[in-house]
Structure 1
């Protein structure tokens, strides 16, 4: 009887998993798919270990974000406000510029697979439709509906992308060999990119807000949050490994070069059509769409929620519930900002200065998040029993150092034009 009750409790815990699915679906966009595909195409399975390291680093970072929200009873912005005004001075231009540029990126990425399926329709039509449908969905729905839709999109992504990797029958010996750390010639850039890019965006900070939106608002939920977080990044790792397998088995062995950017996924769809027929190509494009559109929905909701709390802190309204933030004017103002001004970038070349600011601020955010969390979770701001231990501090330190290197590399590339 006791064993049966334990099994029922275990099943109940698994049914509660949700914020992790949302953060996994949001974090794995077309950029992560392209990065892992290119790594597989150029280096085979040699960089598989970097994917594993990236997942471990993100587990440490997301766990710290969720633990701060639950243990302190405050949001990340409450914590940053207590560290000084410099945190808000950094974040204000970051979120405005990031939202402007990312909005266009997300809409374009979502439009690419749709145009490949329906080539008679211009790309901008699908891009505008993606932005507006994302706006309307988030405007009129709350977090529970978002979670259900994201679960469906993750299911689509899993069936299509992981199914394709299994269909290609990977070389298990080479796959296992890729778990041994190695850095082939000219692979440093791709290695750092894989470690830093496995679902790593501003949505890492949004995870704490989704945890609260789920109804988890006290230290009693920390154990559940940790399970949810591990499921999220193991799922993320499976997706990225699947794309690495596709790159290694389909492109690396045939010496097929990838196109740059998201267009590389269209190149892959064409290769799949030539080798396996239209059906397999269409199935992959559906998975591509699920990855891109889930990222769009997650950012439209999660980052707008962060912006609402950010402005609320400035206005002295930091005590609002998630439900109140979801219907606030700040939330909806940022939704509009992500959608309509960004459409201008679909029609015009991106201004060089804006792109440079976007790249530098974006690369600086992750070390900023890692080191500020490390500070907050080791001070009296956090109850003693929930402060970071050796394992968490090591994970946050490694994450911060790694992202600091990536930030320096990004700044150098912007200065030199490499």
Structure 2
């Protein structure tokens, strides 16, 4: 295959599923090659929502609901692996594959992502600003939120994938180490360590199934999963020879995600379980810094707020990147531009991608200053809840087609996990829609 002028060389192998897919080649660097798109996904997907749900679960049940988190991790891994496998099987991005299943799906996705992008930047930059203003009370929340939103958009706008991957890897490793240190400190200073560890005994809460569902659905991301194939494409993992590497990479992603949530649960159990305290939203998450500092010292308070900030900032940067890939590719699909010309229309340096980065930046600033109307927030939440059942259902159809190479086709385990994802996330979507309509 001939490389596009001015771009790095592409892989040249072909397979039974079709020709080699475009995308800049990346040399294999032994085990370091595993820490690529998976770390990007983990950094983008582990956000303040994961911290809120895991801490809220720990406040009520200690570590007894870790089994629900394990289920969430396994289901999100199955979805992510299937997204990467679909790209390697067909050579098409996830949006173009969805178009082959139903021509209206790219339109649905671009509408979904436009709504999500409308509030995503404002919400996450406000949360990141809250962490900084809690650490430094002199900082005004709203202006700092604007600066954070614009800085995140700038990172996505100017960076090529290699730089973006390094930045996101740094974010992921830094926030994981921060939470791991806090978890170790919590265990080391616990007044009743056997009692704390005893909460690991699995429980099924009576009359509180919504908490269990929230924990399962709250692990990892939504749009980040759909964006995984774009990061795999940029990495140059374009044919079946990289299938095992892609699977290991996504496993690393969810292994780190699980450990992060485990550490958060340990901290939440040590601080909140049995005290009657709780976490209610991001404001409650920031307020947790003071009791944490009282128990573990001022250094722990600073470390928690710094980790909280990095968690939100990395989700903001990764989210902007993933949303812009999905928007640019949805636009390409609607215009009928073939995969052979994809590089000029969806790559990070392409005009559509950068225009959508500007869209995310401008809407973030506008919503920060204008406020977030309740109806718009409810629409955002309801729309976001539809992505995972739609994606899992489409993957069940697309990866069971006879034309898919047997090496990439769904097996029994994949079908069971994707079917479970479709049912579970469908139920969560119904619950979210019901809550949204009830609050309208």
Q: TM-score, normalised by structure 2?
A: 0.88
Alpha-carbon distance, 1:350 to partner? 2.0
Distance 2:194 2:408 in 1: 41
Distance 1:360 1:97 in 2: 10
- Paired residue for 2:437? 415
Alpha-carbon distance, 1:232 to partner? 0.3
- Paired residue for 1:364? 386
Alpha-carbon distance, 1:336 to partner? 1.2
Give 2:361's match in structure 1, choosing from 339, 344, 350. Answer: 339
Q: What are structure 2's unaligned runs of at least 5 residues?
A: 1-27
Distance 1:338 1:179 in 2: 44
Distance 2:201 2:430 in 1: 27
Q: Kindly indicate whether residue 337 of structure 2 is the aligned counterpart of residue 317 of structure 1.
A: yes
Note if contact 2:114-2:327 (Cα within 8 Å) is conserved in structure 1.
Answer: no
- Paired residue for 1:6? none
- Paired residue for 1:27? 45
- Paired residue for 1:302? 322
- Paired residue for 2:99? 81
Alpha-carbon distance, 1:173 to partner? 7.2
Alpha-carbon distance, 1:327 to partner? 1.7
In structure 1, the residue corresponding to 2:245 is in which secondary structure? helix
Q: Kindly indicate whether residue 95 of structure 2 is the aligned counterpart of residue 70 of structure 1.
A: no
Note if contact 1:49-1:178 (Cα within 8 Å) is conserved in structure 2.
Answer: no
Alpha-carbon distance, 1:321 to partner? 4.8
Distance 1:257 1:366 in 2: 28
Give 1:386's match in structure 2, choosing from 408, 412, 419. Answer: 408
Note if contact 1:213-1:323 (Cα within 8 Å) is conserved in structure 2.
Answer: no
Q: Normalized per residue, which structure has more helix?
A: 1
Alpha-carbon distance, 1:179 to partner? 5.9
Alpha-carbon distance, 1:167 to partner? 1.0
Residues 24-52 of structure 1 show CA distances to partners (whole Å, capped at 9, x for unaligned) of 01000011111101110111112111111
Give 1:351's match in structure 2, choosing from 347, 350, 373. Answer: 373
Alpha-carbon distance, 1:172 to partner? 6.4
Alpha-carbon distance, 1:15 to partner? 3.6
Residues 367-395 of structure 1 show CA distances to partners (whole Å, capped at 9, x for unaligned) of 00000011100013522331000000111
- Paired residue for 2:240? 219
- Paired residue for 2:22? none
Distance 1:40 1:58 in 2: 21
Note if contact 1:33-1:240 (Cα within 8 Å) is conserved in structure 2.
Answer: yes
Note if contact 1:206-1:302 (Cα within 8 Å) is conserved in structure 2.
Answer: yes
Give 2:396's match in structure 1, choosing from 343, 349, 374. Answer: 374
Distance 1:28 1:163 in 2: 17
Q: Kindly indicate whether residue 265 of structure 2 is the aligned counterpart of residue 244 of structure 1.
A: yes
Note if contact 1:13-1:224 (Cα within 8 Å) is conserved in structure 2.
Answer: no
Distance 1:257 1:373 in 2: 38
Distance 1:391 1:326 in 2: 35
Distance 1:256 1:283 in 2: 21
- Paired residue for 1:3? none
- Paired residue for 1:399? 421
Q: Kindly indicate whether residue 50 of structure 2 is the aligned counterpart of residue 44 of structure 1.
A: no
> Aligned residues, how many?
408
Distance 2:29 2:162 in 1: 20
Distance 1:89 1:244 in 2: 39
Note if contact 2:175-2:311 (Cα within 8 Å) is conserved in structure 1.
Answer: yes
In structure 1, the residue corresponding to 2:138 is in which secondary structure? coil
Q: TM-score, normalised by structure 1?
A: 0.93
| Aligned Cα root-mean-square deviation (Å) | 2.0
Alpha-carbon distance, 1:11 to partner? 7.8
- Paired residue for 1:116? 134
Note if contact 2:88-2:240 (Cα within 8 Å) is conserved in structure 1.
Answer: yes
Distance 1:11 1:350 in 2: 45
CA, structure 1 residues 404+165, in 2 after alignment: closer, same or farther (shift >3 Å)?
same
CA, structure 1 residues 310+172, in 2 after alignment: closer, same or farther (shift >3 Å)?
farther
Correspondence list, 1:89-238, <5 A:
89-169=107-187, 171=193, 175=197, 178=200, 180=202, 182-238=203-259
- Paired residue for 1:4? none
Note if contact 1:49-1:179 (Cα within 8 Å) is conserved in structure 2.
Answer: no
Distance 1:179 1:237 in 2: 18
Q: What are structure 1's unaligned runs of at least 5 residues?
A: 1-9
Residues 295-320 of structure 1 show CA distances to partners (whole Å, capped at 9, x for unaligned) of 11101112211211111122232424
Using the TM superposition, name which of 29-38 and 184-193 deviates more.
Answer: 184-193
Note if contact 1:199-1:236 (Cα within 8 Å) is conserved in structure 2.
Answer: yes
CA, structure 1 residues 16+248, in 2 after alignment: closer, same or farther (shift >3 Å)?
closer
